[in-house]
Structure 1
Amino acid sequence: MIPDTAAHDPHAVVPVETAAFTAFGMREVDAGTIDAAVAAAGEDLVCVFFWAVDCFNCERAKQAMLAEPEPMRALGLRWLHANVHAHPELGLRFGLHGVPVFLFFHRGKTLGRVTGWHGHAQFAAAVAHARNKLAGRPPV
């Protein structure tokens, strides 16, 4: 049996499925670039997808998003993504206790959070809630 050294070595190269990142134009960010990337989005609602290598639920989320790409694109989000195992300081900064986590930002202000992937309908409802919060309307 070949030992799983990748799980024990944070510097080991592990292949990551990137199709969802490409399909939704997700820009990779880290602790040094996340604030500028959120600011560069201007008036767009930003969603940062926090994920990790070998995270079953992260892969499940990516697969579900790819299975129905048009409804995801219709949400009109500016996408960023960050690997929290490679950048644990982001997990500390945003109080992440597991992944996947999706955080919504507008002009640097956090408007909401989705922890885990519970389907497109719940994700879309969270996006609507963030937009309502931004507009000063009551929650959906």
Structure 2
Amino acid sequence: MSTEPQAGAPDPSAAPHLDHRAFDAFAMREVDDATIDGAIAAAGDALVCVFFWGVDCFNCEMAKKAMLANPGPMRALELHWLHANVYAHPELGRRFGLHGIPVFMFFRNGKKLGRATGWHGHGQFAAAVANARLKASGKPLAG
């Protein structure tokens, strides 16, 4: 799946039907190519999760709905959330080597620690978060 908008597609940043509830519920700050590095750096020691998504991406909407359906376990992961619409900012897709969305990329102190591609449920997402924390601490990754 490409992260590039299709030719003739409407401007994704102007989508009035965009559901922002997940972004609001988890205090996800919107970033673009000009702001992402500063936003990651500003989080300091916090584990940052950047949610790369696109307007009208079915799997992105499914991920947002799943997070909203059971927000407690998501909040318990204590992530510093950022989000980026890669259809509106395709340079991010190229920069981070995205070949499909959604992608959740993890950082701490500006260092990329890993990624979760797609939404395969809270259990797999939590395992990806745990692996990112292990990598940040220098410990071996979980199986």
Same fold (TM over 0.5): yes
Q: Distance in 2 between matches of 1:97 and 1:139?
A: 24
Could you tell me which residue of structure 2 aligns to residue 45 of structure 1?
A: 47
Matches within 5 A, 1:1-140: 8-11=8-11, 13-14=14-15, 15-140=17-142
TM-score (norm 1): 0.93
Asked if the contact 1:20/1:66 (under 8 Å) is kept, the reply is: yes
| Structure 2 counterpart of 1:71, one-letter code | P
Q: Distance in 2 between matches of 1:7 and 1:100?
A: 20
1:67-86 superposed Cα distances (whole Å, 9 cap, x missing partner): 11010000010000000000
| Structure 1 counterpart of 2:50, one-letter code | V
Q: Distance in 2 between matches of 1:17 and 1:11?
A: 16
Asked if the contact 1:10/1:85 (under 8 Å) is kept, the reply is: no
Structure 1 gap segments, 5+ residues each: 1-5
CA RMSD in angstroms comes to 1.3
Stretches (4+) displaced over 6 A: none
Q: Distance in 2 between matches of 1:82 and 1:10?
A: 17
| Structure 1 counterpart of 2:29, one-letter code | R
The total of aligned residue pairs comes to: 135
Identity of aligned pairs, percent? 68
TM-score (norm 2): 0.91
Q: Distance in 1 between matches of 2:128 and 2:38?
A: 24
Could you tell me which residue of structure 1 aligns to residue 3 of structure 2?
A: none
